[in-house]
């Protein structure tokens, strides 16, 4: 069957009519899916007053820093004692030369201890920071899945502070979210999971499991 020009125009006019478009819409009983967004303040997750693991890590860091400082103090005391002995010995004597040799060795030891001790401390610090971050990621993943969130973003304090150690440019560039509804903040829920999981870890270690 061939359509005439008037028939084609009539068909196009019908397809463009509101009534036709309304009837052509596929109806569904399912409600439209809403996008669920969550945000987490990573800064408070690294605070020892909020997360018990951080408190213990902080104590470990203090212990290691004390150990490094004590080794450096012991070397400094040894150097001072050698220096006093060198001053009291006859100049150019074999004993003074030996004490000078020991003093130079102590100087090298002090330099190595300072560099090596600092490197060890920073290595431990970085390992713990990565460990904590991964625990936070696991907790966010758990809360996100249980709450059926589509996306969880990191947030920071709303205002920049002059006391922050990073440069203003670094702080501005690191910003991810500039505005959010407080109802989307799941930081407390994440902290609750973090502390519960850490309590289980400590209990398991205490029981020798």
Give the CATH number for residue 146. Answer: 3.30.910.20
Q: What is the pTM of this model?
A: 0.70
pLDDT of residue 21: 47
Rounded to whole angstroms, the Cα distance separating 204 from 209 reads 5
Residue 153 in tokens: 């973003």
pLDDT of residue 13: 54
Number of domains present in the structure of the chain: 1
Torsion of CA 156, 162, 163, 164, to 10 degrees: 40
Per-residue pLDDT at 98 exceeds 50: yes
Helices (H) and strands (E) in the chain, counts: 7, 2
Tell me: the pLDDT tens digits for 62-74?
A: 999 999 999 999 9
14 or 108, which is more confident? 108
Give, in degrees to the nearest 5, the angle at Cα 146 between 141 and 151: 55
Rounded to whole angstroms, the Cα distance separating 200 from 34 reads 35
Is residue 177 within 8 Å of residue 154, measured between CB atoms? Answer: yes
CA distances from 209 to 132, 203, 205 (A): 22, 9, 6
The 10 Å Cβ neighbour count of residue 100 is 15
Candidates 119, 113, 111, 124; CA nearest to 62 is 124
Asked whether residue 103 is domain-assigned, the answer is yes
30 or 9, which is more confident? 30
Residue 181 in tokens: 């509804």
Asked whether residue 43 is domain-assigned, the answer is yes
The residues with which 41 forms a beta bridge, in sequence order, are 155
User: Does the CA dihedral 12-17-23-25 come out positive or negative?
Assistant: positive
Least confident of 19-23, 45-49, 124-128: 19-23
pLDDT of residue 171: 66
Asked whether residue 124 is domain-assigned, the answer is yes
Asked whether residue 202 is domain-assigned, the answer is yes
Domain limits for position 43: 33-206
């Amino acid at each position: 069957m061939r359509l005439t020009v008037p028939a084609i125009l009539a068909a196009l006019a019908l397809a463009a009519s509101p009534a036709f478009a309304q009837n052509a819409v596929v109806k569904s009983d399912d409600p439209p899916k809403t996008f669920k967004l969550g945000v987490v303040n990573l800064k408070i997750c690294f605070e020892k007053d909020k997360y018990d693991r951080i408190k213990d890590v902080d104590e470990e860091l203090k212990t290691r820093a004390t150990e490094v400082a004590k080794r450096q103090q012991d070397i400094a005391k040894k150097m001072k004692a050698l220096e006093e002995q060198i001053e009291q010995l006859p100049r150019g004597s074999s004993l003074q030369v030996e004490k000078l040799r020991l003093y130079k060795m102590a100087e090298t030891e002090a330099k190595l201890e300072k560099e090596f001790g600092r490197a060890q401390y920073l290595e431990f610090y970085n390992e713990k920071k990565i460990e904590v971050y991964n625990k936070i990621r696991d907790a966010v993943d758990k809360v996100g899945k249980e709450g059926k969130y589509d996306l969880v973003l990191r947030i920071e304090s709303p205002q920049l502070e002059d006391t922050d150690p990073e440069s203003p440019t670094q702080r501005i560039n690191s910003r991810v979210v500039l505005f959010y509804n407080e109802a989307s903040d799941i930081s407390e829920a994440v902290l609750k999971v973090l502390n519960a999981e850490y309590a289980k870890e400590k209990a398991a270690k205490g029981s020798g499991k």
